[in-house]
Amino acid sequence: MSVIKELREYFTEIMRLNYIQALLGWDQEVNMMGYKSVKGRSEQRALITQLIHKRVTSEKTGKLIIEAGKLKDLNDIDAAMLREAKREYDLETKLPEELVIEITKTTALAQQAWQKARQEKDFKLFVPLLEKQVELQKEKAKKLETHPDLYSTLIDLYEPGVTYDWIAKVFNPIKPKLIDIVKKLNSSSDKPDDSILKKPYDIDKQFKLSFEIIKKFNFDLGYGRQDRSTHPFTTSLAPLDVRITTRTREDYLNECIFGTIHECGHALYEMGIKEELHETILCTGTSMGIHESQSRTLENYIGRSKEFWTYWYPSFQKYFPEILKNYPMEEFYRAINIVQPSFIRVNADEVTYGLHIILRFELEKDIIDGKVQVNELPEIWNSRFEELLGIVPPDDAEGVLQDIHWSHGYFGYFPTYFLGTLYGAQIYNNALKKNPSLPEEYKKGEFSNIMNYLKEKIHQHGAIYRANDLIKRVTGEDLNPDYFFKYVEEKFYPIYGL
Amino acid sequence: MSVIKELREYFTEIMRLNYIQALLGWDQEVNMMGYKSVKGRSEQRALITQLIHKRVTSEKTGKLIIEAGKLKDLNDIDAAMLREAKREYDLETKLPEELVIEITKTTALAQQAWQKARQEKDFKLFVPLLEKQVELQKEKAKKLETHPDLYSTLIDLYEPGVTYDWIAKVFNPIKPKLIDIVKKLNSSSDKPDDSILKKPYDIDKQFKLSFEIIKKFNFDLGYGRQDRSTHPFTTSLAPLDVRITTRTREDYLNECIFGTIHECGHALYEMGIKEELHETILCTGTSMGIHESQSRTLENYIGRSKEFWTYWYPSFQKYFPEILKNYPMEEFYRAINIVQPSFIRVNADEVTYGLHIILRFELEKDIIDGKVQVNELPEIWNSRFEELLGIVPPDDAEGVLQDIHWSHGYFGYFPTYFLGTLYGAQIYNNALKKNPSLPEEYKKGEFSNIMNYLKEKIHQHGAIYRANDLIKRVTGEDLNPDYFFKYVEEKFYPIYGL
């Protein structure tokens, strides 16, 4: 058997254990709400983690990687397979077991502390454990040493190959532009009104409609499910078993509808990976940013377009006649595209969203570099928030405490969200260039051409190509935020009568 | 660390893998209906099976068992733990891997063939694979050699320590008695009418009511779930995560109501195992027969009693007023206790049920002994069925093809169903002797005393005591079918006006 084939098969078992781990997690989120104890499940998850760790760090893995490394002229898939195997191996072998255990324990405690602090709107309750988590993440970065600076090493965990400098170069010129556009839009005398989205919408009907929408996007119940959970997410339990979850709020239509479309974007990526890669280490999205590009494309570039709603609005009127029967589509379209400074990232509109991310990106860099101390965070958050968005959070729950990420130690994750938006705009622009009639198709409820485009250009390749290579392969150029601004200006100025 | 402690902890990981395996199965049954492929899941299940096999048969297990075997004066729990570890070890080491793989493959094919044969009512389609399965099971029994005769070795897999001779001694005198009672009851001029159970009952309401019933039995959603599936079953995903599934039929109330109560009996057994045994090899029912005694007690001895329905019937009338409002409780009680020869085992009443089992028990013995050939089965089935129940199945789907068990190679499993009925009657008789006012409590919706009795006497002990020891501990005597006949006569003669 060739070394590459052996490596591939050796990692197949690891992938299967990963899928099993995903089921243990999915089931806990979806089916164990209200359970009095999840101790048994925690032990099972720990066991699988341990089995995966053992296999990834085994002598055999090390040998296979060294042997495979000697081979020349590998094809794209084999080279990528070796690259990812090595990445996993390094990640699991460079970190001392004590550090991994320490992080796991701290994360459990930090998450609890964060929850309490957020509930009581008291950042102080979170300080000691966040401080510890920051130190542990720095320690982790020192051990991994993928890049000379610690923050880049952390970013690399989520967006392989990408550094702080690279992202800063992208984000820096964007910041003033975004601030400018938000100001300009909000100076208009003809602003949208989104109160129509906050009426009492029956949640079962919302769920049903959201499923109708993703079905049209080609989400196939033969290869996955849609369920409900407290926090929406997407997970793969096998190459052809991809499940999304949805959160519904009776008083806010966006939560279910755009949340579901968003997760569907993630799911179609996973479902669309070509069979050749099934159960290999490449059977996953290539980076968080590219993954997010797919969810954002469905949620925003398609799901918030006028053509999309030309098709779907009559169904919404039929489902919710008492609310929407006499409400004009044009006004509904403006409502779902309202742009206004707000405190909570996950509810932010397409334009202000980037500012929420840039704030976190800059702050994380300063935290990891030791320029900002944990106990100073609320004050610095609020003053920077005001600089960027012109408003000051009323309390820390709506400010520095809003996201769970830092309690988990996820420093370097946030920037990928906005990178996804930018990648998505560039890819979607390319799709439109190749087939300008796509929006016209949406009006008739036809989404197969855009979905096929995404599958062919992005999904099928799984993790073969790194984000930057992929975007260049697909669009012919490196990441270029101009496409995002072109999109924003062409869409939002008319909505605001400018 | 003491050897016993080491053995205990070594098997904890095996138990956790078993729980994970159970989740993979539960999720497939409950959540993957309509999936186009379960290939990924099958691979995951095979992987866990392999990991369990590896660990059970490891040198380490062997050494620990030998070392622990040298210890003297073990307490009940430690002795049982060693006994069960040895049992597992022998089972997994005595069977050559090729035989295990051959059985797995044959089972998959045989199940398909059985399904097709049943659908087309054509036994011939099942013959070649059933023949192969019989040969493989005989081969398996030869390798295991727990008892001198092959069929006893197979029975021992489901009812540890029990032999063909022992069961035959129990069943032989029962057979004519049952035939006699059925005849006597059906000679009555005042027979119950069960057509009321076959009206259109809304399935969501049925499901809701069935959940109300098991909640009163102390089935706690903090430690489990009730879901729907094609075939009802109970499974433990952790010591405190026991899930039951329910099948509903709009045109047959029994399916959901008595099916749910039955599974609840299994679930409470698993949920009630004492904490000391959690995640050990003893954290399970001690035998299939004892397990079935618990489900039958809830389903029949409690769930089909007049006192139970005195409490619940008004709720049923409220849920289904259009059907039950003017229907008297007494007639409903008689309907759910109708006794009449029928073709399908799972729908059989309490009295004829034993005859369905005895038929299979005798037939299995003859098959394993080579006295009956597979291709003769339909003819022999029908003639023996007529002898026992006085009717002849119209086709093989309602005859020899009705059960899935043989396609899975489960020879020796059937007798445990009826043993459970007998064990249950004896245990329940003891409960009534200790607390004669139990039925009066049911009338008021109070089930905690009977549930506590079952938990204290049976559930908490898990697999510490073998069935025969347990029944003696609880009731002071060996299995005695007289209690079952006493119950049958005292209950059914009045129902039939005799």
Report the chain A residue with the minimal C-alpha distance to residue B278.
A40
Which one, of B143, B114, B155, B150, lies nearest residue B361 by Cα? B155
pLDDT at residue B166 in the model: 98
Pairing, β A234-238 against β B241-246: unpaired
CB B274 within 8 A of CB B462: yes
Are B223 and A35 inside 8 Å of each other by CB? yes
Which one, of B335, B301, B329, B334, lies nearest residue B313 by Cα? B329
Q: Which residues in chain B touch residue A21, judged by CB atoms under 8 angstroms apart?
A: none
Are A241 and B17 inside 8 Å of each other by CB? no
Residue A283 sits at the vertex; the CA angle it makes with A280 and A287, to the nearest 5 degrees, is: 130
pLDDT at residue B131 in the model: 98
Residue ranges of alpha helices (H) inside A74-223 are 76-94, 97-119, 127-144, 150-158, 164-186, 203-216
If you ran DSSP here, which 8-state letter would residue A199 be given?
S
Task: Say which residues have a Cβ less than 8 Å from residue A213's Cβ, sequence separation at least 6.
Answer: A257, A260, A261, A264, A303, A312
Q: Is A244 helix (H, G, I), strand (E, B) or coil?
A: strand
pLDDT of B405 > 70? The answer is: yes
pLDDT of B13 > 90? The answer is: yes
Residue ranges of alpha helices (H) inside A284-413 are 288-296, 306-319, 321-324, 329-335, 353-369, 377-389, 405-408
Give the per-residue SS3 of chain B.
CCHHHHHHHHHHHHHHHHHHHHHHHHHHHHHCCCCCCCHHHHHHHHHHHHHHHHHHCCHHHHHHHHHHHCCCCCCHHHHHHHHHHHHHHHHHHHCCHHHHHHHHHHHHHHHHHHHHHHHCCCHHHHHHHHHHHHHHHHHHHHHHCCCCCHHHHHHHHHCCCCCHHHHHHHHHHHHHHHHHHHHHHHCCCCCCCCHHHHCCCCHHHHHHHHHHHHHHCCCCCCCEEEEECCCCCEEEEECCEEEEEECCCCCCHHHHHHHHHHHHHHHHHHHCCCHHHCCCCCCCCCCHHHHHHHHHHHHHHHCCCHHHHHHHHHHHHHHCHHHHCCCCHHHHHHHCCCCCCCCCHHHCCCCCHHHHHHHHHHHHHHHHHCCCCHHHHHHHHHHHHHHHHCCCCCCHHHCCCCCCHHHHCCCCCHHHHHHHHHHHHHHHHHHHHHCCCHHHHHHCCCCHHHHHHHHHHCHHHCCCCCHHHHHHHHHCCCCCCHHHHHHHHHHHHHHCCC
Above pLDDT 70, what percent of chain B?
A: 100
Which one, of A445, A436, A438, A432, lies nearest residue A483 by Cα? A432
If you ran DSSP here, which 8-state letter would residue A223 be given?
S
Model pLDDT for residues B323-343, shown as the tens digit of each residue: 999 999 999 999 999 999 999
A221 Cα to chain B: minimum distance (Å): 7
Q: B226 forms bridges with which residues in the sheet? A: B244
- Token pair 């009127």 in the structure block, residue: A317
Burial zone of A307 (CB within 10 Å; 0-12 exposed, 13-18 middle, 19+ buried)? middle
CB B232 within 8 A of CB B203: no
**What are the residue numbers of the active site of B?**
263
CB A266 within 8 A of CB A294: yes
Q: Which helix (H) or strand (E) holds A418?
A: helix A414-434
Count Cβ neighbours within 10 Å for each residue of B395-425 and write b for 16 or more, e otherwise: bbbbbbbbbeebbbbbbbbbbbbbbbbbbbb
pLDDT lower than 50: segments of chain A: none
Which residue type occupies A220? D
Q: Give CA A114 to chain center in angstroms.
A: 21
CB B136 within 8 A of CB B103: yes
Choosing among B31, B48, B54, B235, which should be mutated to test the A contact, i.e. which has the most A CBs within 10 A? B31
The ipTM value here is: 0.94
If you ran DSSP here, which 8-state letter would residue A408 be given?
H
Q: Is A419 helix (H, G, I), strand (E, B) or coil?
A: helix
- In angstroms, the CA B353 to CA B258 distance is 15
Q: Which residues in chain A touch residue B13, judged by CB atoms under 8 angstroms apart?
A: 47
- In angstroms, the CA B317 to CA B327 distance is 9
Task: Say which residues have a Cβ less than 8 Å from residue B474's Cβ, sequence separation at least 6.
Answer: B427, B430, B457, B458
Which one, of B429, B416, B430, lies nearest residue B485 by Cα? B429
- In angstroms, the CA B263 to CA B224 distance is 12
pLDDT at residue A367 in the model: 98
Between A19, A39, A51, which is nearest B44 by CB?
A19
Q: Which residue among the candidates A84, A263, A299, A362 is catalytic per the annotation?
A: A263
pLDDT at residue B1 in the model: 66
- In angstroms, the CA A435 to CA A442 distance is 12
Which one, of B384, B340, B391, lies nearest residue B362 by Cα? B384
Choosing among B30, B37, B39, B44, which should be mutated to test the A contact, i.e. which has the most A CBs within 10 A? B44
Q: Which CATH class is domain A107-498?
A: mainly alpha
If you ran DSSP here, which 8-state letter would residue A375 be given?
G
Measure CA of the first residue to CA of the last residue in chain A; give whole Å: 65
A16 Cα to chain B: minimum distance (Å): 6
Q: Which CATH class is domain B165-498?
A: mainly alpha
Q: What are phi and psi of A225, to 5 degrees?
A: -145, 160
B241 Cα to chain A: minimum distance (Å): 8
Are A223 and B36 inside 8 Å of each other by CB? yes
Q: Which residues in chain A touch residue B36, judged by CB atoms under 8 angstroms apart?
A: 220, 222-223, 240
If you ran DSSP here, which 8-state letter would residue A251 be given?
T
Choosing among A20, A24, A38, A278, which should be mutated to test the B contact, i.e. which has the most B CBs within 10 A? A20
Which residue type occupies B232? P
The beta strand positions in A204-268, using DSSP E, are 224-228, 234-238, 241-246
pLDDT at residue B230 in the model: 86
pLDDT at residue A97 in the model: 87
Task: Say which residues have a Cβ less than 8 Å from residue B128's Cβ, sequence separation at least 6.
Answer: B113
Model pLDDT for residues A294-348, shown as the tens digit of each residue: 999 999 999 999 999 999 999 999 999 999 999 999 999 999 999 999 999 999 9
pLDDT at residue B283 in the model: 98
Model pLDDT for residues B146-205, shown as the tens digit of each residue: 999 999 999 999 999 999 999 999 999 999 999 999 999 999 999 999 999 999 999 999
Task: Say which residues have a Cβ less than 8 Å from residue B498's Cβ, sequence separation at least 6.
Answer: B184, B185, B188
Q: What is the dihedral of CA B400, B403, B408, B411, to 10 degrees?
A: -70
Average of per-residue pLDDT across B39-63: 95
CB B333 within 8 A of CB B316: no
Enter the tokens of residue B84: 């069960």
pLDDT at residue A1 in the model: 66
pLDDT at residue B37 in the model: 86
- In angstroms, the CA A456 to CA A217 distance is 15
pTM of the model: 0.95
Which one, of B291, B247, B287, B245, lies nearest residue B271 by Cα? B291
Q: What are phi and psi of A350, to 5 degrees?
A: -60, -30
Q: Which residues in chain B touch residue A278, judged by CB atoms under 8 angstroms apart?
A: 40
CA-to-CA separations, B320 to B199, B201, B249, B323, B333, in angstroms, rounded:
10, 7, 15, 6, 16
Greatest CA span in chain A, whole angstroms? 71
B38 Cα to chain A: minimum distance (Å): 8
Q: Please report how the helices A164-186 and A482-495 are oriented relative to each other, as an axis angle in degrees rounded to 10.
A: 10
Task: Say which residues have a Cβ less than 8 Å from residue B189's Cβ, sequence separation at least 6.
Answer: B497
Are A238 and B40 inside 8 Å of each other by CB? yes
Report the chain A residue with the minimal C-alpha distance to residue B51.
A51
Pairing, β A224-228 against β A241-246: parallel
Question: What is the pLDDT of chain B when averaged over all its residues?
Answer: 97
Between A13, A44, A222, which is nearest B20 by CB?
A44
